[in-house]
Amino acid sequence: AQSVTQLDSQVPVFEEAPVELRCNYSSSVSVYLFWYVQYPNQGLQLLLKYLSGSTLVKGINGFEAEFNKSQTSFHLRKPSVHISDTAEYFCAGYGTALIFGKGTTLSVSS
């Protein structure tokens, strides 16, 4: 079955600390992978995507993700977070349709 699993439902961090949001996908999901960000009461905005090529993908707002085929992972990272990064983050993978993980709430405090 196609699935995308976000391993942490909530990640609290302090401002300027590094952060990693973890995502694993099932092998039946194709290698088209995405991270979306959702700010409160807004739609989803594409953060970055992996379609092919370099396994390290850079996105907006200083985020990056690394596609790891052997571990079927697509973890999202940022070396130094800001208060404004507080949001819900969704990992998604494309099989016959776009499959979303359940989301990770990133809470950045000062």
Partner 1 sequence: SQTIHQWPATLVQPVGSPLSLECTVEGTSNPNLYWYRQAAGRGLQLLFYSVGIGQISSEVPQNLSASRPQDRQFILSSKKLLLSDSGFYLCAWSRAGVNTGELFFGEGSRLTVL
Q: Measured in whole angstroms, how far is the alpha carbon of residue 45 from the centre of its chain?
A: 12
Residue 1 CB coordination number (10 Å)? 7
Instruction: State which of positions 51-110 bind partner 1 (CB under 8 A).
Output: 51, 90, 92-94, 97-98, 100-103
d(CA 88, CA 105): 4
Closest CA to 67 of 79, 82, 80, 54: 54
Instruction: State which of positions 3-42 bind partner 1 (CB under 8 A).
Output: 30, 32, 34, 36, 41-42
Which residue, 64 or 105, has its beta carbon nearer to partner 1?
105
Interface residue with partner 1 among 1, 43, 53, 70 (CB under 8 A) is 43
Minimum CB–partner distance for residue 102 and partner 1 (Å): 4
Which amino acid does the sequence have at 22?
R
Which residue, 18 or 58, has its beta carbon nearer to partner 1?
58
